[in-house]
C-alpha cells in the first residue's frame, strides 16, 4: 500500500515507539449531509474537531454541516468564497488559522480551497473523491463512471496537492456497477455509506501513523468535462444504444440528459430525459414518430414511453421527460406538448397562501423550495404525502387529496392547483358528519353522544350499545370511562354491556341472518351495501382518524393512512368478493348404469362474534368484519374496552349505508363479561379473536365447551428480524426502526427481536439512535408528530416493568426505557436494548411497545441463526434483510412464521393473507383465504 505517513506532514503523531505524542486537531471543510455524517463519526471515534468551515447560508437555510456542528458546540465559519480574484482573502485565512488545526478533512467540498489552507495543516489535507483515481478526475466523476460504462465504481481518499485530484492516494474502495444503476443508486448503495465510514478509517490511520501516500500513476488517468456546464449535458444521439443509455442514466438524477425535439411546425423544444433502459423490443408499429435534433433516425412515442434508435439498431426506452420545470410521462408527450403554462398572478391574499404553502413543503422536505422542486424526487414517501395533504387541508382549508399531489408533484404546479381551488371556492368548507341525517331501514334519529372538538371539527360520536339498528343504553345504565392517552383526561363514558345485552345482540343477529339478510339481500346487493359503506368511510375519514387519534393515541397521519385507509380498502376489497364465492364440481365414481353429479356449495356460517384489540381499533374491526359480511354472515363485535369510539362511529355509518337492522351489532364493555358472553353463547357459530395468547387459550376453551364453535385466533408475536451485513443498511435502519416503532410499537407483527450481524451491529445501533433523536414525540393530532402516546396506563406500566427486567437480566439499555419526562400523557420513549442473550425474558416475551431488542450473530452458521429465530413459541411474522437471494429464500423456507418479509417490513395488503403459526394462532385475516374462516362447505351428490 505504500510508505506510511512520516515523510513531512504526519510524523508528529507518534514517536518511534508508536506512542501518541499529539492529538489531531481537525478542521472539516465542506458541506452536505455527507460531511455532517463524517463529522458525527469522527466525534464518536473521539477525534478532536476544532472548527467547521462551510458555505454561506442560502436565504434562511444553513447547510446541515453547520447545523450539526452547532449542536456539538463546534465553532462554525461560513464563507461565500475563500479567494478573491485568485488570491486568498486575508480575513478568511486568519479565521481558518485561528482554530489551530493540524489536519484538514474535506468530505465534500464545492469551493476552491487555497493552497495556503491545504498546506497550512502540519499533517496535510485529505479529500474524498467519488472515483477510482486516477480515473475520472474532476467534478463529475460519478456521472462519468456511468457514462463511460465502467464495470467498477468506487471512491478515493487522497492527500490534496496543488493539482486537480492528483495528490497521493490514502485509500480506495470499489463496488460493481449494475446494469440498472444510476447516479442515485450508486450513491445510496455504496459511495455515501461506505464513504462516510472510510473517512473515519482514514483519520484513524493518520492518527495511528499508518496512513499511506501512494503516488498516482498517469496510466489510465483521465480528466472529464464538468457536467454542471450546460454545453456538456447534450446527448449525442448518433451513437450505439448502449452509449445513449449510459449517458442518460449518468445524468438521471441531476440535471438530466439534454436533447432537442423538433416539432412538425419547425419549433425546437429542449427536454431532459430520465428513466432510461435498454429495450429488447423490435416492433414500433404502434408508435407515433418524433424527431430529436441530430438523431440519424426517428424516435417513437408509445404507451410505454419514447423509444430511441441507436446506430446499431438497438432501442433505448425513456420513461420520463422534463420540459421546462414540468416533469411528464414520455408516453404522454403529444398530449402534453400543446399544454401552455398559465401565468399565475397572485393577489396579496394569495401571496400569503403561497408563503404558507412553501413553509409546509420546506418543513417536510427540508430543502429550499423552488418552482421546479419535485416532492417525490426529494425522497418523500407515502407518509409524507399524507402529512402534506392534511396540513394543506388543515391550514389552508382546501379540499385536496393524495391524487392532487400525484398529478402535480412539482411545487409550482401544486401551488397553481391550490390557488385555482381557492378561486373556485364559494366560502363553504367541509363540515363534520351531520348526525341528524339518517337513511335505511331501522335508522334511529337520536342517540346519546359525546361531542369531540378537534382538528377544527365538532364530531358527534355515539356512546351507547348498537343493537338491532338502534343505539341503546346498557342494562341498568352501566358505563365505562374512556381516557384520552395524550392528556390522561376522560373523554366520555360509554355503555358497559351486561350478559343480557350481549344475548340481545346475538338474538338480533340470528334473527337478521335467518330472515332479511339471507332471504331478501342477494350477494351482489350485499357487495353494493359494502361499497356504499366504504364510500361513507372515505367521505368521513378525517373524522374517523381524529377519533382514532384521541381515543387510541394513534398519530393522526398514520391513522388516516393505515388505521382508516386500510379499513376502507378492506371493505372495498371484500365487497368485490361478495358475489364471487363459488363451489366446485367433483368427478366421482358412480354405481353404473346410473350417473352422479357431486358439487360443493360455500355457505355462510350464521352469527359470528368478533373480539378486537386496542392497537388498531377500526382496522381490526374492518379486517374481520368485511370478510365476515361478504361471506353472508351477521355479526356481533366487542371492540377493545379502552378505545371503542371508532367502532361506535362506524355503527352510525352502517345505518346511513342502509344495512338492515341486526346484521351488524356492537357491544362495548369488558372482556371478562361481554367477551366471555360471546364465547359462551350457543347461537354464535364462529368467533374471530385478535389479542394475547393467554386470553386466546381461554376463549378456545369456551368455544369448545359451549358448542364447538369455529374459531380463528391472531395472538401474540415475537417476530424475528434478521439483518445481514450485505443488506442495504440505510433501508434496513429505516425499516428496522419502523418494524419496532411503527404505531408506537403497538403492532402485532412488530419485530420483537432483531438479529444484527456483528460486522454492522455498532453502525446499525448508531444510526437507529440518530433516527430516534429526530422523531417528534407529542400530540398525535400534530401533523409533524411521529410517535404518540401508549394506548392506556396499564400498558405503559407493563413496558416500564419489561425494561426493568431487561436491565436486571444483564441486557444493555442504550436508549430510552422510561416514560417521557416532563410531558403530560402516556408517552414512552423509544427504547433500544443490546447484548440480549437468548435465555433472557426480553428475548422470549413480547413487549407490544416501542422497545427494540437487538442480538448479535455471526453469519458463518446459518442454521444456528434460524434456530435462534425460531426459538420462541410464537410464529406470527418475520423478516430478513440481505442482497443474497439464496440466503433470503433459505430463511423464508426455514423460519416458522405465517408472514415473511424480505428487504421490507410491515408491508401488508388487504389481498395478502395474514396470520400466524404455533402460539401466534391459526386462521387468516385478509385475502381470499380469510373468506374460508367465515364459510362452511356443503357437499351435494345427485344420482340420476
Model pLDDT for residues 157-184, shown as the tens digit of each residue: 999 998 889 999 999 999 999 998 998 8
Q: What is the pLDDT of residue 286?
A: 73
Contact (CB, 8 A) for 881 and 728 = yes
Contact (CB, 8 A) for 919 and 715 = yes
Whole-angstrom Cα distance, residue 487 to residue 679?
A: 34
Contact (CB, 8 A) for 249 and 181 = yes
Q: What cell was used for 789?
A: 402516546
Report the chain (944 residues): mean pLDDT per 10 consecutive residues: 30 39 86 93 95 86 89 95 91 95 94 92 96 93 94 96 91 95 90 96 96 94 92 95 95 89 90 91 80 93 90 92 79 69 73 92 88 82 79 86 77 87 50 34 64 94 96 96 97 97 97 89 94 96 97 96 97 97 93 90 98 98 98 98 98 94 97 97 98 96 97 97 96 97 97 97 97 96 96 97 98 97 96 97 97 97 96 97 96 98 96 97 96 97 93
In terms of Cα–Cα distance, which of 171, 69, 55, 170 is closest to 124? 170
In terms of Cα–Cα distance, which of 654, 840, 828 is closest to 744? 828
What is the CB-side half-sphere exposure of residue 906 using CA atoms within 13 A? 20
Q: What is the pLDDT of residue 333?
A: 87
Adjacent-strand bridge partners of 831: 851
Phi, psi dihedral angles at 393 (to 5 degrees)? -65, -40
Adjacent-strand bridge partners of 320: 274, 329
User: What do you get for the CA distance between the two ends of the chain, in Å?
Assistant: 90
In terms of Cα–Cα distance, which of 730, 724, 761, 904 is closest to 191? 730
3-state secondary structure 281-297: CCCCCCCEEEEECCCCC
* Residues making up the binding site for NADP(+): 638-641, 671-676, 691-692, 798, 846-848
Whole-angstrom Cα distance, residue 633 to residue 933?
A: 11
Whole-angstrom Cα distance, residue 613 to residue 619?
A: 10
Q: How many residues does the chain have?
A: 944
In terms of Cα–Cα distance, which of 248, 227, 230, 233 is closest to 308? 248
Q: What cell was used for 775?
A: 422523531
Whole-angstrom Cα distance, residue 783 to residue 395?
A: 11
Q: What is the pLDDT of residue 838?
A: 96
Whole-angstrom Cα distance, residue 817 to residue 822?
A: 15
Grid cell 427494540 in the structure block, residue: 852
Q: What cell was used for 271?
A: 427536454
Q: What is the pLDDT of residue 18?
A: 42
Contact (CB, 8 A) for 724 and 887 = yes
- Active site (catalytic) residues: 129, 714, 748
Residues 738-754 as b/e (b if ≥16 CB within 10 A, e otherwise) read: bbbbbbbbbbbbbbbbb
How deeply is 299 buried, as exposed, middle or buried, from its count of CB atoms within 10 A (0-12, 13-18, 19+)?
A: buried
Contact (CB, 8 A) for 627 and 931 = yes
Q: What cell was used for 338?
A: 400543446
Q: What cell was used for 498?
A: 351486561
Q: What cell was used for 334?
A: 403529444
Whole-angstrom Cα distance, residue 828 to residue 284?
A: 60
DSSP-based three-state secondary structure for 733: helix
* Residues making up the binding site for (6R)-10-formyltetrahydrofolate: 111-113, 165
Sequence-distant (6+) residues with CB within 8 A of 756 are: 723, 764, 765, 854, 855, 856, 857
Contact (CB, 8 A) for 550 and 484 = yes
Whole-angstrom Cα distance, residue 932 to residue 594?
A: 34
Radius of gyration of the chain, Cα coordinates, nearest whole angstrom: 32
Grid cell 402460539 in the structure block, residue: 919
Contact (CB, 8 A) for 473 and 564 = no
**Distances from the Cα of 642 to the Cαs of 463, 559, 646, in angstroms?**
13, 17, 11
Whole-angstrom Cα distance, residue 136 to residue 134?
A: 6
Q: What cell was used for 523?
A: 350477494
- DSSP 8-class letter at 813: E
Whole-angstrom Cα distance, residue 402 to residue 568?
A: 15
Whole-angstrom Cα distance, residue 113 to residue 306?
A: 44
Sequence-distant (6+) residues with CB within 8 A of 190 are: 153, 154, 173, 175
Contact (CB, 8 A) for 205 and 171 = yes
Whole-angstrom Cα distance, residue 455 to residue 445?
A: 26
Instruction: Name all domains of the chain by residue range, CATH numbers in brackets.
Output: 25-208 (3.40.50.170), 230-332 (3.10.25.10), 348-423 (1.10.1200.10), 449-714 (3.40.605.10), 720-915 (3.40.309.10)
> In this predicted model, what pLDDT tens digit does every residue of 30-48 receive, in sequence order?
998 899 999 999 999 999 9
Q: What is the pLDDT of residue 337?
A: 57
Adjacent-strand bridge partners of 921: 714
Q: Spell out where 551-591 has E strands.
A: 585-586
**Distances from the Cα of 269 to the Cαs of 102, 275, 480, in angstroms?**
53, 19, 69
Element (H, E) at 144: helix 141-147
Q: Spell out where 413-456 has E strands.
A: 449-454
Whole-angstrom Cα distance, residue 568 to residue 457?
A: 21
Peptide bond into 593 cis (omega under 30): yes
Q: What is the pLDDT of residue 378?
A: 82
**Distances from the Cα of 399 to the Cαs of 383, 391, 429, 456, 567, in angstroms?**
18, 11, 8, 14, 21
What is the CB-side half-sphere exposure of residue 141 using CA atoms within 13 A? 25
Phi, psi dihedral angles at 363 (to 5 degrees)? -65, -25
Residues 271-288 as b/e (b if ≥16 CB within 10 A, e otherwise) read: bbbbbbbbbeeeebeebe
Amino acid at each position: 500500500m505504500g510508505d506510511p505517513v512520516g515523510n513531512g506532514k504526519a510524523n508528529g503523531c507518534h514517536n518511534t515507539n508508536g506512542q501518541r505524542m499529539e492529538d489531531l486537531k481537525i478542521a472539516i471543510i465542506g458541506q452536505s449531509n455527507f460531511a455532517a455524517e463524517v463529522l458525527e463519526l469522527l466525534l464518536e471515534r473521539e477525534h478532536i474537531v476544532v472548527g467547521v468551515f462551510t458555505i454561506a447560508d442560502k436565504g434562511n437555510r444553513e447547510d446541515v454541516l453547520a447545523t450539526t456542528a452547532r449542536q456539538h458546540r463546534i465553532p462554525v465559519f461560513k464563507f461565500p468564497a475563500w479567494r478573491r480574484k485568485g488570491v486568498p482573502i486575508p480575513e478568511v485565512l486568519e479565521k481558518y488559522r485561528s482554530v489551530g488545526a493540524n489536519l484538514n478533512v474535506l468530505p465534500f467540498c464545492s469551493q476552491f480551497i487555497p493552497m495556503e489552507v491545504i498546506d497550512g495543516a502540519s499533517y496535510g489535507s485529505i479529500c474524498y473523491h467519488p472515483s477510482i483515481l486516477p480515473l475520472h478526475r474532476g467534478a463529475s466523476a460519478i456521472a462519468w463512471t456511468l457514462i463511460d460504462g465502467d464495470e467498477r465504481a468506487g471512491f478515493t481518499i487522497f492527500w490534496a496537492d496543488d493539482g486537480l485530484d492528483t495528490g497521493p492516494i490514502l485509500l480506495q474502495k470499489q463496488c460493481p456497477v449494475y446494469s440498472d444503476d444510476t447516479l442515485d443508486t450508486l450513491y445510496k448503495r455504496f459511495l455515501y455509506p461506505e464513504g462516510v465510514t472510510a473517512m473515519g478509517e482514514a483519520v484513524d490511520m493518520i492518527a495511528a501513523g499508518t496512513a499511506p501516500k501512494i503516488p498516482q500513476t498517469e496510466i489510465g488517468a483521465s480528466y472529464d468535462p464538468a457536467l454542471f456546464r450546460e454545453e456538456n449535458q447534450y446527448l449525442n444521439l448518433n451513437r450505439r444504444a448502449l452509449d445513449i443509455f449510459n449517458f442518460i442514466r449518468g445524468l438521471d438524477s441531476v440535471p438530466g440528459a439534454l436533447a432537442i425535439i423538433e416539432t412538425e411546425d419547425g419549433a425546437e423544444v429542449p427536454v431532459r430525459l430520465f428513466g432510461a433502459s435498454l429495450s429488447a423490443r423490435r416492433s414500433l408499429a404502434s408508435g407515433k414518430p418524433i424527431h430529436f435534433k441530430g438523431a440519424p433516425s426517428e424516435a417513437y412515442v408509445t404507451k410505454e414511453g419514447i423509444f430511441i434508435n441507436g446506430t446499431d439498431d438497438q432501442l433505448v426506452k425513456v420513461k420520463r421527460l422534463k420540459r421546462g420545470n414540468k416533469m411528464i410521462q414520455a408516453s404522454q408527450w403529444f398530449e402534453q406538448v400543446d399544454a401552455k403554462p398559465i401565468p399565475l398572478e397572485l393577489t396579496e391574499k394569495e401571496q400569503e397562501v403561497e408563503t404558507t404553502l412553501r413553509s409546509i413543503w420546506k418543513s417536510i422536505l427540508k430543502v429550499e423550495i423552488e418552482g421546479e422542486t419535485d416532492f417525490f424526487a426529494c425522497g418523500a414517501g407515502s407518509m409524507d404525502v399524507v402529512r402534506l395533504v392534511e396540513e394543506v387541508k388543515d391550514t389552508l382549508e382546501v379540499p385536496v387529496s393524495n391524487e392532487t399531489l400525484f398529478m402535480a408533484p412539482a411545487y409550482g404546479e401544486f401551488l397553481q392547483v391550490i390557488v385555482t381551488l381557492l378561486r373556485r371556492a364559494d366560502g363553504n368548507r367541509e363540515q363534520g358528519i351531520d348526525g341528524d341525517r339518517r337513511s335505511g331501514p331501522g335508522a334511529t334519529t337520536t342517540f346519546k353522544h359525546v361531542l369531540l372538538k378537534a382538528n377544527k371539527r365538532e364530531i358527534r360520536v355515539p356512546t351507547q350499545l348498537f343493537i338491532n339498528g338502534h343505539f341503546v343504553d346498557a342494562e341498568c345504565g352501566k358505563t365505562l370511562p374512556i381516557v384520552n392517552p395524550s392528556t390522561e383526561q376522560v373523554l366520555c363514558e360509554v355503555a358497559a354491556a351486561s350478559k343480557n345485552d350481549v344475548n340481545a345482540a346475538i338474538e338480533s343477529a340470528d334473527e337478521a341472518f335467518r330472515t332479511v339478510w339471507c332471504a331478501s339481500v342477494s350477494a351482489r346487493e350485499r357487495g353494493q351495501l359494502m361499497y356504499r359503506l366504504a364510500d361513507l368511510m372515505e367521505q368521513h375519514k378525517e373524522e374517523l382518524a381524529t377519533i382514532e387519534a384521541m381515543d387510541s393515541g394513534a398519530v393522526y397521519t398514520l391513522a388516516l393512512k393505515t388505521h382508516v385507509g386500510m379499513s376502507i380498502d378492506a371493505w372495498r376489497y371484500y365487497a368485490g368478493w361478495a358475489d364471487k364465492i363459488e363451489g366446485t364440481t367433483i368427478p366421482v365414481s358412480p354405481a353404473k348404469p346410473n350417473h352422479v353429479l357431486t358439487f360443493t356449495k360455500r355457505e355462510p356460517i350464521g352469527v359470528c362474534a368478533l373480539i378486537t384489540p386496542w392497537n388498531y381499533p377500526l382496522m381490526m374491526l374492518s379486517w374481520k368484519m368485511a370478510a365476515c359480511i361478504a361471506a353472508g354472515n351477521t355479526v356481533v363485535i366487542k371492540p377493545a374496552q379502552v378505545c371503542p369510539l371508532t367502532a361506535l362511529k362506524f355503527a352510525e355509518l352502517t345505518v346511513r349505508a342502509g344495512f338492515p337492522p341486526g346484521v351488524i351489532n356492537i357491544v362495548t364493555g369488558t372482556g371478562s363479561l361481554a367477551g366471555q358472553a360471546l364465547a359462551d353463547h350457543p347461537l354464535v357459530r364462529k368467533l374471530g379473536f385478535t389479542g394475547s395468547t393467554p386470553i386466546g387459550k381461554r376463549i378456545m376453551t369456551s368455544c369448545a365447551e359451549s358448542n364447538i364453535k369455529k374459531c380463528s385466533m391472531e395472538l401474540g408475536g415475537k417476530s424475528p428480524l434478521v439483518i445481514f451485513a450485505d443488506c442495504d443498511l440505510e433501508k434496513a435502519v429505516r425499516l428496522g426502526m419502523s418494524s419496532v416503532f411503527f404505531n408506537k410499537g403497538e403492532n402485532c407483527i412488530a419485530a420483537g427481536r432483531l438479529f444484527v450481524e456483528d460486522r454492522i451491529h455498532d453502525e446499525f445501533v448508531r444510526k437507529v439512535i440518530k433516527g430516534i433523536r429526530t422523531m417528534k414525540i407529542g400530540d398525535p393530532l400534530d401533523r409533524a408528530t411521529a410517535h404518540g402516546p401508549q394506548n392506556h396506563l396499564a400498558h405503559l406500566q407493563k413496558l416500564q416493568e419489561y425494561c426493568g427486567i431487561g436491565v436486571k437480566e444483564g441486557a444493555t439499555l442504550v436508549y430510552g426505557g422510561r416514560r417521557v419526562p416532563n410531558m403530560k400523557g402516556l408517552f414512552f420513549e423509544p427504547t433500544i436494548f443490546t447484548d440480549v442473550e437468548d435465555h433472557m425474558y426480553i428475548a422470549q416475551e413480547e413487549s407490544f411497545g416501542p422497545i427494540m431488542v437487538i442480538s448479535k450473530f455471526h453469519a458463518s452458521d446459518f442454521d444456528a441463526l434460524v434456530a435462534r429465530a425460531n426459538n420462541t413459541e410464537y410464529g406470527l411474522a418475520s423478516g430478513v434483510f440481505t442482497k443474497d437471494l439464496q440466503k433470503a429464500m433459505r430463511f423464508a423456507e426455514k423460519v416458522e412464521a405465517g408472514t415473511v418479509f424480505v428487504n421490507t417490513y410491515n408491508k401488508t395488503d388487504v389481498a395478502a393473507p395474514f396470520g400466524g403459526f404455533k402460539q401466534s394462532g391459526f386462521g387468516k385475516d385478509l385475502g381470499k383465504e380469510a373468506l374460508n374462516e367465515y364459510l362452511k362447505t356443503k357437499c351435494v351428490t345427485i344420482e340420476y
